[in-house]
Structure formats: C-alpha cells, structure tokens
Amino acid sequence: MKITANSILLLLLTIQFSSCNKENNSNDFVSTNSGLYASPLFSESQLTRYNNVPFSTRPNFMGIQFTDDLTMMEEQQQAELTIYMDVVVPPNASIHSRQPLMVLIHGGGFLQGSKIGLTNNTLSYASAGYVSATVNYRLTEDNYLDADLRTLAVLHALEDVQNAIRFLKANAEIFYIDTTRIAVSGGSAGGGLSLALALGADEIDELVSDYVGISARIHASFPSGATLTADSLIDFSYLVGDATDAPVMLFHNSLVDPATGATWQDAKITQTAIENSGNECILIAQPATTHTVSLHVGGPYWETMRPFLWRHLRLHEIVEN
C-alpha cells in the first residue's frame, strides 16, 4: 500500500492495521545447534571483504549532513554525499550457491555513528556462512532540536537503508546473495530502521528509489531498543502494517529503556500492533540496564535468534539439500 509521510508526527495509535492473520508454522522448522548458519565455521582469512562500497549519492541538506563519524568534517563541506557499505562474503558463497544475507544497521540517534562499529558482528555472520553487510546512511546534526528536522533525518536515513537493500539485490550476482533470504538487524536508531524496513519497505511515496523495479522488502527483522510508540525516539506512525510485512523479533528493555523512556508496556503495544496487522512479532526482554543488546552469531542472544532466523529464511531447505 502506498502512503505519504505527512502523518509522521501523529501518534502510533492512529495507524490502521488489517485484521488478517498470518499462519505461524513454527513447528515445521527445526534449526541445528552447529554447522552452517548456526555456528562459526570459517576463519577471517577465508572471508572476502569489500570495504567502502558506494551504493547511493544524495544532496547534503543545508550542509549539516554526513554519513560517518570518521568523515564528518570533510563531508559537511560537500554539496553531495556518497553513501557506503561494507560487505563480507563467506567461502561457501558462489555464483552457483548463493547465500542468505544479513544486513546490520548502526545506531546513534540519526546524528552520529558508523558502519565500522558493527564490523565484528558482520564478520560473525559471514563466519557462519551468511553474506553480511553493514551500512552507513545520512546523519543529520542537531536533529533533536526541531520536529521537522527530526522527521527529515529519519526519512533520509530510511531512504538510504532501503536503497542499501535494493543495491544488494541488484548486485546479487557479484556478492552471491540469495535475494529470497534477507534479514536485517540494528540497535537504537538502527533498530528503528530495522523495524521500518520490516513494516514499510516500499510504501512511502516521498522516498526515492535508486533501483527502479527492485523492492527493499526483507524476510526477517531483529530490532533492539526501538518501539512503535510516541515514547520512543522515532515515531513511525507513517507505517501501515499488513500481512505482507517481514516478521519481527523485537528486543527491548524489560522495564524502562534508559535512552528512549519507552517502557516494556510500549514494547508490548508494538508487538500487539504488529500481530493485529496479520504478522508475527516475538518480544524478547533485555536486562533492565540496557538500551540495546548486541545481536551476533555466538552472542548471548544467538540461541534465541537462531530458530527464528532459520524458520523465516527457510535455512533448513538449503542444509537438507
């Protein structure tokens, strides 16, 4: 469904969700505890790394935007910004054996951050056999001071990560990606963008695609530190949920998020809204001191993530073959 971004400042509860239900066949999928896609198999020396791959170019709004903490001073002098990603390809991937993709999105309030901060997590997925990527997006200085500027910052960031997904699909033959098996994960602002990709990959008219005819839709999302409520840093009321969205495993503080002020009840409201739209949302409690948690292969939450990822990327079909 195509919608506009004009309602971005409305409360989440004005979102209209469809009432259909998506069938959950969780018992039909069994993941393994080790091996391909389940545990590290490959050393870093076996991985092929593509650093600073350009995927989009955009105007620098009022000269206050940049794409990476490491290049902030240089980029704010530029009229246009080139946006980059890093991609890691495991040795099991080839033109005849395309592999599932995990895309990682950094946080930072849409005003700071870098793809470099998720390099180790990206390597962890590639070591288990996934093609993996970490992406930059436009960051907007002091966006928290003005509601309109905040809205622009969020929309620009979302446009960029959508185009990152489209770029990876358009170049699937180069990076050996199975475009029917794509997941995203992120924390804080990156969690909000991961959630937005699940619920509104192509639906916002004002966002421009660099890759005509290629959808930004994904197949599973793992956000941390983000909700669909007015108490979170991001108001995603411009998103409309339906049964075609990607399923979500949402990680959230079990009490009150120390960064956003969002409560566990806010997270449950988000879960209910997604479920009422006909989709799946599993809510996972984080420790009460945390804003986000690290979601990587072999990490403390991997055993929770793995069956969900296995099921929605249909990894059993690859392993069984």
Q: Nearest to residue 30, comparing CAs of 295, 243, 308, 232?
A: 308
Q: Which domains can be identified in the chain, with CATH numbers?
A: 12-16+33-320 (3.40.50.1820)
Instruction: Give pLDDT, residue 239.
Output: 65
Instruction: Give pLDDT, residue 13.
Output: 27
Q: Is the predicted pLDDT of residue 102 greater than 60, yes or no?
A: yes
**Mean pLDDT value of segment 141-151:** 88
Query: The whole model's pTM is what?
Result: 0.90
Instruction: Give pLDDT, residue 231.
Output: 44
The Cα 82–Cα 205 span in angstroms is 22
**pLDDT band at residue 309 under the 50/70/90 scheme:** very high
Q: Is the predicted pLDDT of residue 11 greater than 50, yes or no?
A: no
The residue behind tokens 């240089």 is 74
pLDDT in tens, 148-185: 898 899 999 999 999 999 999 999 999 999 999 999 99
Q: Is the predicted pLDDT of residue 119 greater than 80, yes or no?
A: yes
Angle between helices 189-199 and 147-170 (to 10 degrees): 60
Instruction: Give pLDDT, residue 214.
Output: 97
β-strands 281-286, 48-59: how paired?
Answer: unpaired
HSE value, Cβ hemisphere, 13 Å, CA-based, for 84: 15
**Mean pLDDT value of segment 279-292:** 97
HSE value, Cβ hemisphere, 13 Å, CA-based, for 56: 28
Q: Is the predicted pLDDT of residue 28 greater than 80, yes or no?
A: no
The Cα 7–Cα 208 span in angstroms is 18
pLDDT in tens, 240-262: 678 889 999 999 999 999 998 99
Q: Is the predicted pLDDT of residue 81 greater than 60, yes or no?
A: yes
